[in-house]
Structure 1
Amino acid sequence: MSSSPAPSARGSRLALLVVGLCWLAVLFDGLDMFIYGSVLPHMLQEKALGITSGQAGDLGSYATFGMLVGALAAGTVADRIGRKKLMVSCVALFSLASGLCAIAGSVGVFGLGRTLAGVGLGGLLPTAISMVSDYAPRGRAAITIGLLMTAHHAGGILSAYVALWIVEPLGWRSAFWVCVVPLLFVPVLLKFLPESLSFLLAQGRTEEARTLAGRYDAELPAAPADKPATARWENLANLFRGREWIQTLLYWLASFGGLLLVYGVATWLPTLMRSEGYELGSALTFVVLFNLGGIVGMLVAGRASDRFGAPRISAIWFALTACGVFLLSVHMPLALTFAVVFLTGVFLNSAQTMIYATVSIGSAPANRATAVGWTSGMGRFGAVFGPWLGGQLLAADQGDWGFTAFAIAGFSSMVFIGIASLRTATAAPRRGAGNRATGHHAPAAGQ
């Protein structure tokens, strides 16, 4: 007598396949994102393409601007062509764009390559998150997404070793040729990555979705309801009704400072550490430790937020990040500096994630996607500004102020998310009924 599989195990084979393929795609995403910062000290030392510190900051911002465009366009494009095709297109785009960087004969061509790579990088991550959310076993979506995000930091670690082992003997262009290798992964995605079940249902391809779900013994999700454009704009307007605009602005400002810090440090950490007198090998080791900290932080922050509240953890994490980043401007013994970089990675990379958790928990279900999406989108402008700011400070021979400027950004995000959480706690009694209806307790957002 056969028995049906337990609900928690349903679809485990399909989930493993999807998460594994998406993890590798995000690994390549992280490699391409971090490779510029890892190779930048070589490029500045060799005066590659005649690049200056100010131009280097601009080039870093080109990639993050491309990511802004890619992230904003990802949802609309995925709804039209499907998540699988979009993921494949993004991997192909940032791989080919890295090839353009590798053969670039001028700063302008190199900048075009980094911008196009950014579009691919920005479109891939939200699409991959959507894919693994679709196929995650019931009750395990959060830990599945957390596992996926470790791939981005693993890519950052890989970028440091590419710079350390390949660039020194072969030159800076070799690093970007390495970033073309993910193009070989495109046929693998085309052959083995299944299409999103939700997308198939939304397109009316119900039989295809049933066949795919049956092949892997996965649960078929409910067909998504169509949402008119007027409803989407109404959800955006709801973020500004009454005094909600204050809360919305605070979240946006916190996200702006958080992503300024994340991408500013990611771009300039090796170069700034060299300006502080550390050898190149040590400076690249800092990239490894920073991303190892990011992996640990992603696994720790969620559990801490479940216990103490996401707003509180985000504010504390940003405060600790600001302290850690500021300490990097002080020349300390190497072992102590390694420890500070690791801990800074733990707190920095997950502090921003907890802003999204805070917004998600504090929003009504109908408005949640809009609130989180716009908070992330506004933060992307900080991602563009951070690399540019670091370049301007170095160009003005004010590298010592780089870490201080980034520390101020972390402190500002702590203030904004802290004020937002206090306002939420004050408003909790009158919004309690609504929160209970969503399955969240009112104090959670304000703890």
Structure 2
Amino acid sequence: MSPSPSPSAARGSRLALLVVVLCWLAVLFDGLDMFVYGSVLPHMLESKALGITPAQAGDLGSYATFGMLVGALTAGTVADRIGRKKLMVACATLFSLASGICALSGSVAVFGLGRTLAGVGLGGLLPTAISMVSDYARGGRAALTIGALMTAHHAGGILSAYVAKWLVEPHGWRSAFWVCVLPLLFVPVLAKALPESLSFLVAKGRTDEARSLAARYGTELPTATAPKAPADRWDALLGLFRGGEWLQTLLHWLASFGGLLLVYGVATWLPTLMRGEGYNLGSALTFVVLFNLGGIVGMLVAGRASDLPHARLRSRGGTPTGAPRISAIWFALTAAGVFLLSVRMPLGVTFLVVFLTGVFLNSAQTMIYATVSIRSSPGNRATAVGWTSGMGRFGAVFGPWLGGQLLAAGHGDWGFTAFALAGLSSMVLIGVAALRSGRRPEPSDAPQELIAAG
């Protein structure tokens, strides 16, 4: 008979569950706000809402992803100053109010301002939520916990499709953005019920507060670590370019650029491009649901796939090849799936292709981060992955813009082909990076956490 868990372990589990549930709901609203624009875009273009053109639609999609770039790059610094809890509350408030600006907008410029501000909130919330659940994850479950958290982002995408399907036709596109204001009702709950990060409390010297919180829920205090000096951070960045590492670094950055171009390009333009292929609006929005269901499955699979470097999948020279091999294969499968969407197929087959594309697309990008992690030294890993993600976000800005330019030029049928080529380029780049890697880390040098794609 197995022993029952101790009271302190049970309290620690309840705290971890509380944090995961609250962060999951926050990320759900984050996903809803992120994907709602793509879901309502076909209706906005057909009704010529705000006088919007396809080129302007692409620009507007890029405004949100540019805001996400700003939010993601500043989230760490702001969180270190005010705390992760306060930053999450601020980000949820910002993207909810920004959706109100979109709903009230009378011009493309005001709408664009709303999407940019929403992007800042969206970009700041996701990495902060990941840090929070990592802080409270039970031993050995960080990857699984983060994978579960990331399902909320895609659940928000599914919700956005149903919001568009049920509200936009009878009530207009503004109604969808009013729904995205409703998370303001969740903000007081988040502010009251979410505990502050124990790591932040310890780092700020608020040890009594951290000890009291840890004792209340029977969890352990994290070890205090000294923050890096600016000189150390710059030295870590320069280390990515020393010797022969500069080419490896650029290959990883370019692969991440193509991967996120693909992720956000498809997320923004999938319903509109499928409408252009002759599907009705209901079917086009069903594709959004299936794509995000695939993303949920892919994120859960990526939680397990992040352990592939530990499986000792090796080349002849002894270098672990699991993560880059999976990334290259999955980008190839993603490219094939995206290209097939430009071909008229039976509806059931198209549904299956969209679902599988969602599975592979989101996890392929995750494996780029896993590749960078396993081929970096422990002291330089955070810098290597952070900059790979940051450079990739320029692709997230470029993808929606590219789709709009192709549609404006009357080449909407080339949209899927362009996105497929981005997938193929990432496949080649990550493959070449793997072949050129001369680093042979021991298994203990491998990452223990899944890094989310986005």
TM-score range, shorter chain: over 0.9
Aligned to 2:170: 169
1:145-184 mapped onto 2 (5 Å cutoff)? 145-184=146-185
CA drift of 1:8 comes to 7.3
Structure 2: how far apart are the matches of 1:135 and 1:243? 38
Structure 2: how far apart are the matches of 1:95 and 1:148? 20
Q: Name structure 2 gaps, 5 residues minimum.
A: 314-321, 448-454
Structure 1: how far apart are the matches of 2:326 and 2:134? 24
Aligned partners of 1:9 and 1:137 also within 8 Å:
no
Q: Name structure 1 gaps, 5 residues minimum.
A: 442-447
1:287-436 mapped onto 2 (5 Å cutoff)? 287-305=288-306, 306=308, 307=311, 309-424=322-437, 427-428=438-439, 432=440, 435-436=441-442
Aligned partners of 2:66 and 2:116 also within 8 Å:
yes
Structure 2: how far apart are the matches of 1:360 and 1:304? 13
Structure 1: how far apart are the matches of 2:428 and 2:374? 19
Spell out, residue by residue over 1:190-228, the C-alpha distance to the aligned partner (whole angstroms, 9 max, x if none).
Answer: 100000000001110000000000111111110122211
CA drift of 1:29 comes to 0.3
1:237-316 mapped onto 2 (5 Å cutoff)? 237-305=238-306, 306=308, 307=311, 309-316=322-329
Q: Secondary structure of 1:139's match?
A: coil
Q: Secondary structure of 1:239's match?
A: helix
Structure 2 residue identity aligned to 1:318: F
Structure 2 residue identity aligned to 1:290: F
Aligned-pair Cα RMSD in Å: 1.6
Structure 2: how far apart are the matches of 1:222 and 1:97? 38
Structure 1: how far apart are the matches of 2:346 and 2:220? 55
Structure 2: how far apart are the matches of 1:304 and 1:188? 34
Q: Secondary structure of 2:442's match?
A: helix
Spell out, residue by residue over 1:18-43, the C-alpha distance to the aligned partner (whole angstroms, 9 max, x if none).
Answer: 00000000000000000000000000
Aligned partners of 1:7 and 1:138 also within 8 Å:
no
- Greater CA deviation, 317-326 or 2-11? 2-11
1:79-158 mapped onto 2 (5 Å cutoff)? 79-158=80-159
- Greater CA deviation, 277-286 or 216-225? 216-225
Spell out, residue by residue over 1:367-391, the C-alpha distance to the aligned partner (whole angstroms, 9 max, x if none).
Answer: 1111110000000000000000000
Structure 1 residue identity aligned to 2:168: V
Structure 2 residue identity aligned to 1:146: G
Structure 2: how far apart are the matches of 1:347 and 1:8? 37
CA drift of 1:304 comes to 3.9
Structure 2: how far apart are the matches of 1:402 and 1:238? 38
Structure 2: how far apart are the matches of 1:62 and 1:149? 23
Q: Which runs of 4+ in 1 moved over 3 A?
A: 6-10, 437-441
Spell out, residue by residue over 1:284-328, the C-alpha distance to the aligned partner (whole angstroms, 9 max, x if none).
Answer: 000000000001111123434524511111110000000000000
CA drift of 1:168 comes to 1.0
Structure 1: how far apart are the matches of 2:97 and 2:168? 19
CA drift of 1:9 comes to 5.9
Aligned partners of 1:364 and 1:438 also within 8 Å:
no
Aligned to 1:74: 75
Q: Is the alpha carbon distance of 1:336 and 1:229 closer, same or farther for their aligned partners in structure 2, counting shifts above 3 Å?
A: same
Q: Does 1:59 align with 2:98?
A: no
Structure 1: how far apart are the matches of 2:7 and 2:435? 43
Spell out, residue by residue over 1:51-98, the C-alpha distance to the aligned partner (whole angstroms, 9 max, x if none).
Answer: 000000000000000000000000000000000000000000000000
Structure 2: how far apart are the matches of 1:276 and 1:294? 23
Aligned partners of 1:94 and 1:117 also within 8 Å:
yes
Spell out, residue by residue over 1:162-196, the C-alpha distance to the aligned partner (whole angstroms, 9 max, x if none).
Answer: 00001111100000000000011110011000000
Structure 1: how far apart are the matches of 2:11 and 2:330? 36
CA drift of 1:347 comes to 0.2
Q: Is the alpha carbon distance of 1:4 and 1:164 closer, same or farther for their aligned partners in structure 2, counting shifts above 3 Å?
A: closer
More helix by share: 1
Structure 2: how far apart are the matches of 1:224 and 1:331? 56
Aligned to 1:444: none
Aligned to 1:439: 445
Structure 2: how far apart are the matches of 1:323 and 1:301? 20
- Structure-1-length-normalised TM-score: 0.95
Structure 2: how far apart are the matches of 1:348 and 1:294? 8
Structure 2: how far apart are the matches of 1:10 and 1:223? 23
- Structure-2-length-normalised TM-score: 0.93
Structure 2: how far apart are the matches of 1:27 and 1:95? 12
Aligned partners of 1:251 and 1:417 also within 8 Å:
yes
Aligned length: 433
